[in-house]
């Protein structure tokens, strides 16, 4: 769980036990601001179909139902509360259940520090034990500052034909409730909003909205994963974009969204953590090929075996990409390349 300056975004794995037949679900949530209604939290919960009990309904189909309870409290005073029944799609055959089903809710909550109580239970399972957990979150959208909303990972989207709980900015957006991207997933799509630029900047001001991936460990921007857009002040600016992560190596990353003024000073930002598993990806040696190590400490290392030992010693604090480089190149790279890599590290 991670508290950020103006956003809380969390991914939680919920399970009522360790058995494959015990309920498994994933919960994520993010904060946004409506110019009409004020701050709100969106919750996204996906239930793993094969871990819940399906029973025949009145239509003669098989269906699962879980009950979800969420309560938002400040100093033990409940500020909002919902108890909902989430039903799965109806199916004819329970021999192969390979899908998840989704619940999305919105809670209108003023700025403040909240304790959140969450409970989920399989309604069709006899003697089911409810899973309970609690989290802390902060909602803060200062009116005299530029704010960046929560960053929602997106599974899919389409043009909206009518307004519903999934609708934002004219799209029906299906959230991606995990912060783990396996190699089978080739793109990372995300949605966020920026507020108050119309009241903070002058009407004719130009500013930048940057979005990029950075190493979680070092906060260094990842080459080829940086985009930007020039903007003018608006009440709400939508950031809806994606990165092709086909070649993004395994590792821990942050997706960052920031606003910079005309003097290139950061005035607002937000970030969200995710993990990538991509064993086939290679370290991009172009990132270090242009580094000049002349007259540096690395230039004074003349024994390649000594240099390799130095690089191996960095493994415990290396990023995923750096570990990939070490594993793939220590046996074959020349002294110059290893010097560049070590100096860059």
Residue 205 near residue 232 (C-beta atoms within 8 A): yes
pLDDT of residue 309: 87
Confidence band, pLDDT 50/70/90 cuts, at residue 9: very low
pTM of the model: 0.81
The rounded percent of the chain whose pLDDT value lies above 70 is: 91
> Is residue 10 scored above 70 in pLDDT?
no
Indicate the CATH number of 143-281 among 2.60.40.420, 2.60.40.3880, 3.90.1720.10, 3.40.50.150: 2.60.40.3880
285: pLDDT confidence band, cut at 50, 70 and 90?
Answer: low
pLDDT digits (tens, 9 = 90+) for 291-310: 778 888 988 888 888 888 88
For residue range 312-345, what is the model confidence (pLDDT) as tens digits? Answer: 888 888 777 777 777 777 877 788 888 888 887 7
Residue 215 reports pLDDT greater than 80: yes
Q: Pick the more confident residue, 2 or 34.
A: 34
Give the domain ranges of the chain. 1-141, 143-281, 286-344
| 273: exposed, middle or buried (Cβ count in 10 Å: 0-12, 13-18, 19+) | middle
As a whole number, mean pLDDT of residues 247-254 equals 89
Cβ count near 170 (within 10 Å) = 10
Q: Which residues pair with 1 in a beta bridge?
A: none
Q: Which CATH architecture has domain 1-141?
A: Sandwich (2.60)
Q: Is it the case that residue 154 has pLDDT exceeding 60?
A: yes
pLDDT digits (tens, 9 = 90+) for 29-39: 999 999 999 99
pLDDT(68) > 80: yes
pLDDT at 290: 59
**CATH topology match: 1-141 vs 143-281:** yes
């Amino acid at each position: 769980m991670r508290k950020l300056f103006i956003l809380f975004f969390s991914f939680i794995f919920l399970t009522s036990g360790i058995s494959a037949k015990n309920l498994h679900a994933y919960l994520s949530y993010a904060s946004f601001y409506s110019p009409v209604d004020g701050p709100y939290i969106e919750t996204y919960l996906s239930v793993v179909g094969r871990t819940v009990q399906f029973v025949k309904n009145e239509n003669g189909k098989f269906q699962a139902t879980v009950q979800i309870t969420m309560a938002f409290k400040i100093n033990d005073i409940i500020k909002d509360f919902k108890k909902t029944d989430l039903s799965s799609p109806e199916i004819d055959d329970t021999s192969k259940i390979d899908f998840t089903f989704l619940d999305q809710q919105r809670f209108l909550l003023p700025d403040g520090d909240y304790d959140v109580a969450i409970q989920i239970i399989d309604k069709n399972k006899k003697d089911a034990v409810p899973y309970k957990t609690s989290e802390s979150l902060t909602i803060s959208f200062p009116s005299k500052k530029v704010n960046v909303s929560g960053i929602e990972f997106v599974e899919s989207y389409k043009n909206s034909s009518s307004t519903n709980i999934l609708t934002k900015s004219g799209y029906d957006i299906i959230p991606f409730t995990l912060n783990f991207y396996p190699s089978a997933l080739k793109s990372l799509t995300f949605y966020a909003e920026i507020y108050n630029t119309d009241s903070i900047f002058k009407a004719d001001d130009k500013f930048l909205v940057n979005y990029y991936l950075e190493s979680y460990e070092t906060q260094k921007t990842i080459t080829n994963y940086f985009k930007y857009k020039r903007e003018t002040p608006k009440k709400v600016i939508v950031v809806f974009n994606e990165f092709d992560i086909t070649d993004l190596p395994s590792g821990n990353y942050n997706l960052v969204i920031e606003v910079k003024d005309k003097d290139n000073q950061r005035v607002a930002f937000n970030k969200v953590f995710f993990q990538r598993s991509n064993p086939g990806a290679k370290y991009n040696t172009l990132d270090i090929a242009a580094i000049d190590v002349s007259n540096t400490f690395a230039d004074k290392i003349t024994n390649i075996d000594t240099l390799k030992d130095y690089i191996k010693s960095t493994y415990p604090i290396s990023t995923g990409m750096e570990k990939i480089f070490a594993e793939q190149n220590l046996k074959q790279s020349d002294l110059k390349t290893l010097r560049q890599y070590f100096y860059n590290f």
